[in-house]
Structure 1
Amino acid sequence: MDASCLKYALTDEERRQFNEQGYLIIENALSPEQVTELTTEFDRIYEDKLAEGHDSRTALFYPNFIPDADAFQNLVDYEKVLPKVWGLLGWNIYLYHAHMIATPPNGKPKDNGTFGWHQDSGRVNVEMESHPRPRLSLKVAYFLSDVSEPDRGNFWIVPGSHLNDNLQMPADRQGQPEGAIPVCVKPGTAVFFDRRLWHAGTPNWSELTRKVLFYGYGYRWIRTKDDMTVQHLWERSDPIRRQLLGAGVNCNGHYSPTDADVPLRVWLKEHQPELVR
């Protein structure tokens, strides 16, 4: 990894924003050329799924897309993003979850129904004995389509709600929780969010198809949430990318890692020693 990536290191203001609000927006994280390349690969997969019988009127949730294109793999350790990820989570991390979502126009009249609000990680939110619940992981969402206006299938959030174990919903299931806002961003934007942040996907009432890539980073002792069939990529990846794709020496190395398990720690000892403990 080139040390030039450190110019994108997490700033004190970005840390404060993420810790207090549960999310962070990085505009122009992707260049127009990257957006074009990624969109081409995204569209290829989407068209294949439609040809296989996916209903064009419903959202496509497609996990384990990383092996499908070099452009997707290059975001695993992307220089403008990974330094902020390790700045928030530390060095004992990997990509435990990845999925792409295409949300086409739903062709229905807009309504005021309450969205499907949730925190990520399923049973973790029931079985962890702590308050607030532990962070454990975060996601980076790369937006390829223009969702700079509402009603385009926007991702909705309640800022600051990552520290709340419950979220009060409207009693009549009409409208959204207090403080809820749509995330309105342009193509090329990366949105980081804490897995505990209460959020919701929404209907797409526009004429545009919403296209997003989600990269989920968590601690290496967390099991993958998808099949993550990336092992064949290890041989042609550099050491840090191999770590992020789940490689390691043995199972114990997920809990008591050696330098061979976590080359990111070795690299940080040289370049950002204040982050190594």
Structure 2
Amino acid sequence: MDKSCLQYSLTEEERRTFDETGYLILENILSEEHVAALTKEVDSIYEAKLREGHDPKKAMFHPNFIPDHHLFADLVDYEKVLPKVWGILGWNIYLYHCHMIVTPPNGLEKNNKTFGWHQDSGRMNREMESHPRPRVSLKVAYFLSDISEAGRGNFYIVPNSHLKDDDIVVPDGEGQPEGAIPVRVKPGTAVFFDRRLWHAASPNWSDITRKVLFYGYGYRWVRTKDDMTVSGLWESSSPIRRQLLGAGKNADSYYTPTDADVPLRTWLQEHAPELARW
């Protein structure tokens, strides 16, 4: 990994925004050319799913897409994003979850039915005995389509809900929680969000198709959420990418890693030692 990536390190303002609100929006993380190349591969996968019988009016949820194309693998340690991820979570991290979502127009009339509000990580939210619940992981969402207007299948969030609301009041069938807003962004934008932030998908009432790539980073002792098949990429990957794809010499190395298990720590010790102390 080239040390030039340190120019994209998490700033104090970004840290403060993420810590206080639970999310961070960074525009122009992907160039127009990068968006076009990724969109081409997403479209190819989506078209294949349609041929296999996927309902064209329903969203396509496609996990474990990293092995599908090198462009997806290249985002795992993307220089403009990874430094911000380790700036938030530290160096003992990996990609525990990923999914691609394509949300076509649903052809229905717009309504205000309650969305599927949730925090990520399922049972973790019931079985961790603390308040606020621990962060443990975050997601980075790369938006490939223009959702700068509401009604386009936007990702909805309740800002600041990650720290104060172990539960939120969700209307019974009609309306959304107090403070809920749509995330409205242009193609090429990356949205970072804390797993504890209350969020929901919304219907696509527009005439465009929404396309997003989600990369979930967590601590190496967190189990994968998908049936990941990325181990086939380990041999051809750089040491740091291999760590991010879940490599480890044995089970205990995810709890008490050596330098060989976490080359990201070794790299930071050399190039940014203040980030490798803990």
Is 1:177 equivalent to 2:177 in the alignment? Answer: yes
Q: For 1:18-67, what per-residue CA distance to the aligned partner results, in whole angstroms no more than 9, with x for missing partners? A: 00000000100001111000000000000000000000010000000000
The CA distance in 1 between the partners of 2:100 and 2:83, in whole Å, is 22
Q: Secondary structure at the match of 1:62?
A: strand
**Map of 2:204 onto structure 1:** 204
Alignment of 1:213 with 2:216, yes or no, is no
* Equivalent residue number for residue 100 of structure 2: 100
Q: CA deviation at 1:173?
A: 2.6
* 2:192 alignment partner, SS class: strand
Q: Does 1:69 align with 2:69?
A: yes
CA distance in 2, matches of 1:159, 1:127: 24
Instruction: Please state whether the residue corresponding to 2:253 is helix, strand or coil.
Output: helix
3-state DSSP of counterpart to 2:46: helix
For structure 2, the residue ranges without an aligned partner over 5 or more in a row are: none
* Residue 234 of structure 2 is aligned to residue 234 of structure 1: yes
Q: Distance in 1 between matches of 2:9 and 2:55?
A: 41
Tell me how many residue pairs correspond in the alignment: 276
1:141-195 CA-partner distances (Å, limit 9, x unpaired): 000000000000000000000012011122x432111111000000000000000
The 3-state SS of whatever aligns with 2:91 is: coil
Aligned to 2:257: 257
Give the Cα–Cα distance (whole angstroms) in 2 for the partners of residues 272 and 253 of structure 1: 23
2:146 counterpart of 1:146: yes
Q: CA RMSD in A?
A: 0.6
Aligned amino acid, residue 168 of structure 2: L
Identity of aligned residues (%): 74
Distance, in Å, in 2 between the alignment partners of 1:249 and 1:272 is 25
Distance 1:119 1:129 in 2: 16
Q: State the secondary structure of the residue aligned to 1:13.
A: helix
In 2, Cα distance between equivalents of 1:84 and 1:154: 24
| Structure 1: distance between partners of 2:7 and 2:114 | 41
Off by >6 Å, runs of 4+ in structure 1: none
Q: One-letter code of the match for 2:119?
A: Q
Aligned equivalent of 1:35: 35
Residues 46-101 of structure 1 show CA distances to partners (whole Å, capped at 9, x for unaligned) of 00000000000100000000000010000000000000000000000000000000
> Aligned with 2:256: secondary structure?
coil
> 1:249 Cα shift?
1.3
**2:135 aligned partner:** 135
In structure 2, what is the Cα distance between the partners aligned to 1:272 and 1:159? Answer: 31
AA of the residue aligned to 1:168: V
In structure 1, runs of 5+ residues without a counterpart are none
